[in-house]
């Protein structure tokens, strides 16, 4: 009960932040009621998905300071568990999703046990390597469709199918991922003030000092890693039902791992709002720049240039991301 209360306790945050967050959340809640294009709908769904991936990354990467560049492998585990169980055994999403999470956690302990002995760049490289190894395994594993991947035949289910998450109308997917998003946000709000959250920050500041204070560094990192992969794997299962076609290249690529980390870093790693801001900037920017400048104006490829320039600009001005800029402005105002 205390924990539940702590989830809803945002009293340590400035009122302005809460007002803006409340307004944005209200707007997102009523968004499906107002007329919108399917493109806008899919963009917002993608925003939620990446915000959740980012939140997961933020626990280990932001609060824990362990820059993981292989998180997409857990997305793949979640997505493949759901797809395989649905195609072969007709298993409902609500059963396959937790199974996917459990498998992802088991795999994260295998990976984490070895890679958490490494630090800094070596850790990042090791996570990339492990992720690529798993992707390569999936690319030759016939049971999961090898490199051709798997297709969930949507025509087998009658929409709306709430058990298997097969809908013709994206509003259902929207409502579900919005619920995931709210639960994720509340959990992270509790996590950052939890014992584990404080332990992580002390590990991030100085691992040796943290160890001398009696913190079991390895175990704290592993537990956090399990939290991170739970987020990514659960959304990965959702991804399989939403897209209905998964391939190793699409779900477990290095590009995807980097994008997840980039969202959180750009928004502000180690802050509650960072991954949400990052996803809120990059996802619509990527979609709409592409649509307006790429497809309509015929300036194919210009979207990538602008996208890259914005990332470079923010990195040069404030390496702590957008949230770092906000904090800096606040400090200056106070001074």
Partner 1 sequence: MKKRCTVLLGMTLVLVVIVGIHTACPAAETIKIGVIYPLTGGAAAEGRELRAGAELAAQIANNVMADIDMDMAKRGGITSLGGAKVELIFKDHEGNPTLGADLAKQLILDDKVVGILGCYHSSVTKTVSAVCEQYGIPMINDSSTSPALTQRDFKWFWRTTPHDVTFTQDLFELFKGLTEGKVKGVPAVPKDQIKNLASACEKTEWGSQVSETIETFAKQYGFDVQKSLLYAAKSADLSSEVRSLQAVKPDAMLFASYASDAILMVKTLKAQKVSAKIIWGQDAGFEAPEFRSTLGDDVVGILTRTVFAPKVAEVKKVAGQVNALYKKNIGHDLSGASARSFTGLQTWVEVLQKAGSTKPEEIQKTANSITIPGDQLIVPWKGIKFATSGSDRGQNELGSGIIGQYQKGKDGEIVLEIIYPFEVATANMIYPFKAF
Q: Rule CB under 8 A: which residues touch partner 1?
A: 37-39, 42, 139-140, 146-149, 151, 153-155, 159, 168, 170, 243-245, 247, 249-250, 290, 294-295, 300-301, 304
- CA nearest neighbour of 174 among 42, 22, 26: 42
Would you tell me how many other CB atoms lie within 10 Å of the CB of residue 330?
Answer: 12
Question: Can you list the positions of beta strands (E) in the chain?
Answer: 150-151, 245-246
**Residue 285 CB, nearest distance to partner 1 (Å)?**
15
CA distance 152 to 138: 17
The pair of structure tokens assigned to 228 is 């991170």
Instruction: Specify the 3-state DSSP secondary structure of 43.
Output: helix
**Residue 122 CB, nearest distance to partner 1 (Å)?**
23
**Residue 95 CB, nearest distance to partner 1 (Å)?**
23
In the bound state with partner 1, the residue whose beta carbon lies nearer, of 155 and 212, is 155
**Residue 301 CB, nearest distance to partner 1 (Å)?**
5
In the bound state with partner 1, the residue whose beta carbon lies nearer, of 44 and 264, is 44
CA distance 296 to 291: 6
**Residue 227 CB, nearest distance to partner 1 (Å)?**
26
In the bound state with partner 1, the residue whose beta carbon lies nearer, of 199 and 253, is 253
In the bound state with partner 1, the residue whose beta carbon lies nearer, of 11 and 37, is 37
Measured between its terminal Cα atoms, the distance across the chain in Å is 40
In the bound state with partner 1, the residue whose beta carbon lies nearer, of 42 and 202, is 42
- CA nearest neighbour of 260 among 28, 115, 68, 40: 68
The pair of structure tokens assigned to 158 is 């009658």
């Amino acid at each position: 009960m205390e924990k539940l209360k702590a989830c809803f306790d945002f009293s340590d945050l400035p009122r302005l932040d809460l007002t803006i967050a409340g307004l944005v959340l209200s707007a997102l809640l009523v968004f499906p009621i107002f007329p919108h294009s399917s493109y806008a709908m899919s963009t917002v769904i993608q925003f939620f998905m990446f915000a959740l991936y980012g939140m997961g990354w933020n626990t280990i990467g932001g609060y824990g300071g362990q820059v993981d560049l292989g998180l997409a492998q857990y997305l793949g585990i979640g997505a493949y568990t759901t797809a395989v169980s649905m195609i072969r055994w007709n298993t409902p999403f609500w059963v396959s999703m937790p199974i996917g999470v459990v498998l992802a956690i088991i795999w994260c302990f295998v990976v984490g046990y070895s890679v958490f002995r490494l630090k800094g760049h070596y850790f990042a490289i090791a996570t990339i390597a492990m992720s690529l190894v798993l992707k390569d395994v999936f690319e030759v594993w016939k049971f999961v469709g090898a490199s051709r991947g798997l297709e969930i035949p949507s025509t087998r289910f009658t929409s709306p199918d709430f058990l298997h998450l097969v809908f013709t109308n994206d509003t259902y997917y929207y409502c579900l991922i919005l619920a995931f998003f709210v639960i994720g946000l509340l959990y992270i709000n509790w996590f950052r003030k939890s014992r584990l959250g404080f332990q992580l920050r002390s590990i991030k500041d100085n691992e040796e000092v943290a160890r001398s204070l009696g913190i079991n560094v390895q175990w704290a990192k592993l537990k956090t890693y399990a939290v991170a992969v739970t987020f990514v794997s659960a959304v990965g299962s959702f991804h399989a039902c939403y897209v209905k076609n998964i391939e190793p290249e699409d779900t477990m690529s290095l590009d995807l791992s980097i994008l997840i980390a980039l969202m959180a870093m750009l928004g502000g790693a180690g802050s509650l709002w960072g991954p949400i801001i990052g996803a809120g900037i990059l996802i619509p920017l990527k979609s709409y720049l592409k649509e307006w400048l790429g497809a309509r104006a015929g300036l194919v490829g210009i979207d990538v240039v602008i996208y890259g320039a914005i990332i470079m600009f923010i990195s040069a001005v404030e390496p702590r991301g957008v949230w770092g800029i906000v904090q800096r402005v606040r400090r200056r105002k106070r001074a």
